[in-house]
Structure 1
Amino acid sequence: MDAETIRKLIESGLPGARADVQGDDGVHFEATVVSEAFRGKLPLARHRMVYATLGDLMGGAIHALQLRTITPDEAGAAR
């Protein structure tokens, strides 16, 4: 598995989302996902939305995924 494939899966599963995925060993990854769909949702719900885009890859080809899930407004405030 590679970071670019994960990025594409997340972005296609969450239309309008932007994902930045890092990971060099092929099984451990970090991702920052920015999506309007996260507005009003708690962190656990946001993470579940991202995990849903990856399906059976989680716990298989993707051993670990550290997530930062934010709305566009939150991303702008962090700059």
Structure 2
Amino acid sequence: MAMEADEIRRLIVAAIPDAVVEIDDLAGDGDHYAARVTSAAFAGLSRVRQQKAVYDALGGRMGTELHALQLTTAVPAGGER
């Protein structure tokens, strides 16, 4: 079962309210996406912890409803909290 980009965005923003989420459907099949998530909440976190926060927001859907997510995370310029 494919997952819509809007659902991915909704789940991420529900868990990380200030997140700016940009999503591209890489294959046009609703299964392979690239996402860039920018949030001040990532300030001071390693890239691994930033990405874990995003994957946690997806609530176990990786590998089931969502097959592949090429993920980039970032802190906004001047994003220290």
Relative to the length of structure 1, the TM-score reads 0.87
The unaligned stretches of length 5 or more in structure 1 are none
- Within a 5 Å distance, the mapping from 1:37-76 to structure 2 comes to 37-73=41-77
Aligned length in residues: 75
Deviation at 1:2, TM superposition (A): 1.1
The unaligned stretches of length 5 or more in structure 2 are none
Structure 1 residue 7 and structure 2 residue 5: aligned? no
Amino acid at match of 1:67: L
Structure 1 residue 19 and structure 2 residue 12: aligned? no
- Give the structure with the higher percent helix: 1
Q: Deviations over 1:26-69 (max 9, x none)?
A: 11110000100111111111000000100121111111111110
What percent identity do the matched residue pairs reach?
40
Relative to the length of structure 2, the TM-score reads 0.85
Distance 2:78 2:35 in 1: 16
